[in-house]
């Protein structure tokens, strides 16, 4: 059998979607796959514990040292420098494991070309889970935004997608999307639960489709 497809997962939080990937590895849902590392930008991300429990190597890559090196002042805003330096190091960190695909599973940073370009040069695609349909809501807090629109009577449905990551936030080509109704929801927490329930299936499906596309292209 061919070597397993090497996956790196980037997280920031609970990691329930990471868990869905871990559970699916080497099943029919994600055949012959291996998570080679989980990287978090937050030290206390519970997803790091999930990875450790599954004996997957982890790395905390925090932004604080970069913010200290490029202090932000209103006269001289340097957050872009900090971001570029952080992203360039993240790319090297990721590539050191020779992954074939990167999955952002609740990774809450906007990535710049300093991250995207080295991965593109190495032919490693980056995919992201986003809790909205393509072109609908963008950025952080989309579940809350959908909830507020639902409460205001402005929407009855929302959705989620897996998409390729490009510099334009949440606008990369969708791989797979799922729309669902918001009927019967009484609280934001209930919407979050519904979103997560759909996400745990879709992230696995999207990862499988992206890996199949790689194999078709002869890259994995
Ligand atoms: C998920 O709901 C995911 O869609 C969202 O973060 C959550 C992570 O949950 N991502 C974004 O909003 C990205 N823009 P998890 O840590 O339990 O997997």
Q: Is residue 112 in contact with ligand 1, taking CB distance under 6 Å?
A: no
Dist CA 62 CA 43 (whole Å)? 7
Q: Is residue 40 in contact with ligand 1, taking CB distance under 6 Å?
A: no
H or E element at residue 121: helix 113-121
Reported pTM: 0.95
Say whether 196 is catalytic.
Answer: no
In this structure, what is the dihedral angle of CA atoms 87, 88, 90, 92, given to the nearest 10 degrees? 160
Q: Is residue 158 in contact with ligand 1, taking CB distance under 6 Å?
A: no
pLDDT in tens, 32-66: 999 999 999 999 999 999 999 999 999 999 999 99
- Give the pLDDT score at 220: 57
What is the Å distance from ligand 1's center to 33 Cα? 22
Q: Is residue 17 in contact with ligand 1, taking CB distance under 6 Å?
A: yes
pLDDT in tens, 62-102: 999 999 998 877 666 667 889 999 999 999 999 999 999 99
Residue nearest to ligand 1 atom 10, measured at CA = 106
CB 155 within 8 A of CB 178: no
Report domain extents, the chain: 5-133+159-181+199-215
CATH of domain 5-133+159-181+199-215: 3.40.50.170
pLDDT in tens, 118-171: 999 999 999 999 999 999 999 999 999 999 999 999 999 999 999 999 999 889
Dist CA 124 CA 38 (whole Å)? 16
* CB neighbour list of residue 32: distance below 8 Å, 6 or more residues apart: 1, 2, 4, 5, 26
CB 158 within 8 A of CB 170: no
């Amino acid at each position: 059998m061919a070597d397993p497809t090497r996956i790196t997962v980037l997280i920031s939080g609970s990691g329930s979607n990471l868990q869905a990937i871990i559970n699916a590895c080497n099943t029919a849902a994600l055949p012959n796959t291996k998570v080679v590392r989980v990287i978090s930008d937050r030290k206390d991300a519970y997803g790091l514990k999930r990875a450790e429990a599954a004996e997957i190597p982890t790395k905390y890559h925090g932004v604080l040292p970069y913010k200290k090196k490029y202090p932000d002042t209103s006269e001289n805003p340097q957050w872009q420098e900090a971001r570029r330096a952080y992203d360039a190091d993240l790319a090297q960190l990721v590539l050191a494991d020779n992954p074939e695909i990167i999955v952002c599973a609740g990774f809450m940073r906007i990535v710049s070309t300093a991250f995207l370009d080295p991965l593109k040069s190495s032919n490693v695609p980056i995919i992201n889970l986003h809790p909205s349909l393509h072109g609908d809501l963008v950025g952080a807090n989309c579940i809350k935004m959908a909830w507020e629109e639902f409460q205001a009577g402005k929407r009855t449905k929302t959705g989620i997608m897996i998409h390729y990551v490009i510099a334009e936030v949440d606008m990369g080509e969708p791989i797979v999307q799922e729309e669902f109704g918001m009927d019967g929801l009484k609280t934001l927490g209930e919407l979050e639960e519904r979103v997560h329930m759909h996400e745990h299936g879709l992230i696995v499906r999207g990862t499988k489709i992206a890996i199949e596309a790689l194999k078709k292209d002869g890259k994995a």
